[in-house]
Chain A
Amino acid sequence: MNGRWLTLACLMAVWTKLSAADTGISYLLESSWLNNNDNSVIQVSENLIPQPTSSRTQIVELNYNQSILSATAAARAIQYTGQSDENELRIKEFVLASSFGHWEWSAGRRINSFGLGNAFRPLDLTQQQDLLTHEQESLTGVNQLSLERYLDLDSYGVYLVNPDQLNTNNSRKRTALIARFATSRELMDWQAALRYSKDNQLQAGFGGIRILGDDLSLHSSLLWSSRYQRQVSELTNEGSELLSATNPWIQQSYDNGLNWLLGANWTWSARQNLVLEYWHNDFALSKQQWQGHLDLMQSQNRLLTTAAPIEAVEGNLAWSARAFANTNRMQNNLLTRWSYSADTVQPRLTLLYSPDDSGLMTEATFTVDRYAIKFQAGARHFSGPDNSVYDQLIEKSRLFLSVYGNF
């Protein structure tokens, strides 16, 4: 393993611990063993789509907090079997913040999370997080200027985000202006937000959580977008060829998109908890688009046994497989998550069902919290009918073990 970044991180950790500011260090070590899907239509050589059978990730994260400056830096080293290591040093947060009168301002890279939901948060308008990944790495913030006011239980905020970033798909600036209001009432927290950007034009969202008793709460979010984009493959258009000489993915714009989520959280004893969430995501490919795409991949796969140039077929299959990597994977989703909180152990079972094609993701984790360290073991498995997205993923199942400490 290339340990240079980790050595550097450890030196930084010692320095920050010795300095006067409030500092913290966290360490994550995660090993995964992957079982790739032999039945997937994506059968290409490893140099086009790497299919490691195991990986090991180490992340050292340092955070530094002073009266007006907060910073988080992470050093990450990933080792895959049969591939070169990936090492990265990233500034996740670097924000100057202070107040004047009743107003709080901040400038710099900052992590924001506004939304409600365990698996999908339509109202995370500054940055979306993939909440379905098993990886536990924290978010990287986005550059922004913010002005906020807190009054009793109300909060008002205006945010200018990504002033310097371009959308690589259309070269438009990713800059967005967001206004947000949030409040808490006796049995309900609710929030409303408006966002304007060149890509999405106007977006308006509303969400809330309602406490229905000692053990039950309901939460919901709704986001309307006047414009939104999906990545679609030109090869799925009617009458298209099966192969392309150039990347067939293009960004297509649509009008009037709705993303919404409805959820419930039920704690029926002092130990057991159940989360149910159903959501619709218009940013994901529709059922028809997925069907067209799966048909295309099957047709491309059949070309492997014909006289068609194998490099061209495999290259196109690799392009087609990009659809699986989209964090907005399925439009309609139902999540059920049960957990039991014992003294030091927490078993958790998650089922993610796709009503569009009956695909299913099953995940079971077991967390042990001892000696200020969290140990987690888990397994994830994708299944479904032959023509379902989850059944066609390149990864069929995964075992993972992790150790996490925050000091």
Chain B
Amino acid sequence: MSSFRYRILGCQFVLLTLLVFSGFTYSQDDSNAWVKVADDYRLNADNSRVSTQVTLFKNGKQTRQRLYTVYLKPGRKSLVLFESSGEKDQKVLMLADKFWLLMPASRRPIRITPMQKMLGEASTGDIATMSWHQDYDADFKGSETIDGELLDHLQLTAITKGVSYQSIALYLQPDTHKPVRAELYTSSGKLAKTATFVIEDRGDREMVTRMILSDAIQTNQVTEVDYLTSEAYELSDKYFNPQFLAKNRKLIIK
């Protein structure tokens, strides 16, 4: 009788253990798959053209607004064209962890370090990086309630060199995996910025239409990145060659 009782207890323990662990733990593959789903809310095609408007606020007052066109290709390739008056015809090319700056007055590509890429008030990396899954490995940390909403917390650690942020605490909506909030940390472990995402219906699907970046170092500074349009577009490979970009002040892209 007692051995039967122990057997029942043992089965209950195993079932409980299975229940607990199957319900509340996820593999790293699951976490990375969620990040990929979250990325799909930001970018709807691997080859894309995104028109981006960046607005900078200081102490709640708008201080600057800039327009960019970003061309993206698989393999962490992005080309940022500066469209606003004052910085027209500037370009930044990012090929994985290689970066070039192209100024209109100088017909030569300037290879820059990851740190130089961060010079100025709006990091080009924030504009040009539209996905996390290629650069980071995700680890599920549990569920947390933020601003009254229960969210999945994923810890993203950089697996490639040259990324703007070494680690990211990413918060996703459970089930849909929509990105809600991301805390962006530098290589020294310091919180640099906090991003929140606005998702709206765009045609036949929901997309991130705005990313709000709150600066953790200059706390009075907020940057709003609006994704005005996003479309599938395959730009020819030659535009991702720094020497080709340097050749012409203006790129005529049909």
Complex formed: what's the CA distance from A211 to B56 in Å? 31
Complex formed: what's the CA distance from A273 to B110 in Å? 15
Contacts of B238 in A (CB 8 A): 150
- Cβ proximity bits B64-91 to A, threshold 8 Å, 1 near / 0 not: 1000000000000000000011111100
Within the complex, the shortest CB–CB distance from B122 to chain A, in Å, comes to 9
Q: Which one of A165-173, A181-189, A358-366 contacts B?
A: A181-189
- For residue A153, CB closer than 8 A to chain B, the reply is yes
- For residue B111, CB closer than 8 A to chain A, the reply is yes
Contacts of B105 in A (CB 8 A): 136, 138-139
- Cβ proximity bits A324-342 to B, threshold 8 Å, 1 near / 0 not: 0000000000000000011
Contact indicator A186/B63 (Cβ below 8 Å): no
Q: Which one of A41-49, A193-201, A367-375 contacts B?
A: A367-375
* Interface of chain B: mostly helix, strand, loop or mixed: loop
- For residue A347, CB closer than 8 A to chain B, the reply is no
- For residue B108, CB closer than 8 A to chain A, the reply is yes
In the complex, number of A-B residue pairs with CB atoms less than 8 Å apart: 118
Complex formed: what's the CA distance from A341 to B119 in Å? 6
Q: Are A184 and B98 CB-contacts (below 8 A) given A70-B249, A217-B113, A405-B86? A: yes
Q: Sort chain B's interface into a size bin.
A: 35 or more
Contact indicator A184/B116 (Cβ below 8 Å): no
Complex formed: what's the CA distance from A216 to B58 in Å? 31
- Cβ proximity bits A257-289 to B, threshold 8 Å, 1 near / 0 not: 000000001011011010000000000000000
Number of interface residues of A (CB under 8 A): 54
Listed by A's residue number, 19 A-B pairs whose Cβ atoms lie within 8 Å are A63-B249, A67-B252, A70-B249, A111-B107, A113-B246, A116-B108, A150-B238, A152-B237, A152-B241, A153-B241, A155-B244, A184-B242, A214-B115, A214-B162, A267-B116, A267-B119, A273-B116, A273-B119, A344-B121
Residues of chain A whose beta carbon lies under 8 Å from any beta carbon of chain B: 22, 24, 63, 65-67, 70, 72, 97, 104, 111-116, 136, 138-139, 148, 150, 152-155, 182, 184, 186, 189, 209, 211, 213-217, 265, 267-268, 270-271, 273, 341-344, 369, 371-374, 405-407
